[in-house]
Structure 1
């Protein structure tokens, strides 16, 4: 894996200072022009992704500007219906910031997905500390994996994880569609109380190619046409 120049706190601060100076040199008015966006953000997208350090949305989609993407990340890009952290982010993004798309973004070689697979297989080599926190967090998806283990027969571990990455994204998009926030947004759009439809999508970031893959499982309000 490529090494970074930001592996200690001083280098992080130095890197930031160099970035800011470079931006100002290229466009002296950059931060002034974005002052309104900084004070009153208006993102178009909520990105619900994995906490993996290789898949930051600012790296995966480098052309976006500050204020364009609202972000929530956790282990294995989960959307639990009892997770007030994720649900509060979703509610604020949809109801207050008026984002018009929510994207669940998984990625290949996901350690969280692999941990769920090991848990479903009854592996006993998982660290006890992971069983306490990580295992509980992944339990809903682990149960999903346990229910489809026969589908994985004949696959290598890497192939099984790759398949389950897609399964995971599809499951989280389905969960997202069940949230009260999304259902309310769709109802408001149907009644004319919300001007723009909220669409939910499922993507997978391929670490080997650097490309985002659209799983084509988008959902929106009944009768609405998916924007091109």
Structure 2
């Protein structure tokens, strides 16, 4: 009713209206979604029902001790690689495990974790073969990815200042590895500019750590 009185709104609604045909894919059969549902059935039968008290308690609330800021990469699942139980990690993931100051979603996650869940540790976690770090060397034409990666470019700049031109076949691989590590350090610097984190660290309520996951060996290690 309110929109109807705006000039030109009728034409906009007509042009952008969703026809039945445009919704054809919504709710349509999908083998991949069916796979997820079958996986959930197996989870309920083999995991959920094996420890009903745990999941009953989790249904009442959460009290994780660790905030995990990691990469969206499908190969670095936090709970699996740390063998953590449900409720132990509060997780947020994005492309390149980046911590920009202008991402309201991430800022909200951090504030909630620190001020309300009262996590004791925050870990920023990078990993090997990171596509985001590789993309720092490319002139991408995508509208959003390059903008997002701007908050990681300093990691590449720092490493390139330390490592000269490649002399051996192993040098490019080592450079990529060092950029991944330096990005973890850089994002911790960004994280420490968040008022909620700075205050919690200064008061001794929270510690911040950098971690790195090696896909080839399955090893999670500290970044110093």
Same fold? TM cut 0.5: yes
In the alignment, structure 1 residue 59 sits paired with structure 2 residue 83: no
Aligned to 2:12: none
- TM-score, with length taken from structure 1: 0.77
- TM-score, with length taken from structure 2: 0.78
Q: Name whichever of 10-19 and 140-149 sits farther off.
A: 140-149
**C-alpha displacement of 1:151:** 2.4
Write out aligned runs for 1:129-148 (5 A). 129=142, 132-146=143-157, 148=159
**C-alpha displacement of 1:183:** 1.6
In the aligned structure 2, how far is the partner of 1:97 from the partner of 1:36? 16
Equivalent position to 1:180, from 189, 192, 195: 195
Aligned to 2:27: none
In the aligned structure 2, how far is the partner of 1:108 from the partner of 1:114? 10
Alignment length (residue pairs): 190
Provide closer, same or farther for how the CA distance between residues 204 and 80 of structure 1 changes in structure 2, counting only shifts above 3 A.
Answer: same
User: Quick check: 2:154–2:186 contact (8 Å CA) kept in 1?
Assistant: no
In the alignment, structure 1 residue 212 sits paired with structure 2 residue 223: no
Write out aligned runs for 1:1-228 (5 A). 8-24=32-48, 27=50, 30-62=51-83, 64-116=84-136, 118-119=137-138, 124=139, 126=140, 128-129=141-142, 132-146=143-157, 148-155=159-166, 156-189=171-204, 197-216=205-224
Q: Deviations over 1:70-113 (max 9, x none)?
A: 00100100011221111110000010001000000000110101
Q: Name whichever of 35-44 and 68-77 sits farther off.
A: 35-44
Say which one has the larger Rg.
2
CA RMSD in angstroms comes to 1.8
| Structure 1 unpaired stretches of 5+ | 1-6, 190-196, 217-228
User: Quick check: 1:49–1:76 contact (8 Å CA) kept in 2?
Assistant: yes
**C-alpha displacement of 1:198:** 0.6
User: Quick check: 2:98–2:151 contact (8 Å CA) kept in 1?
Assistant: no
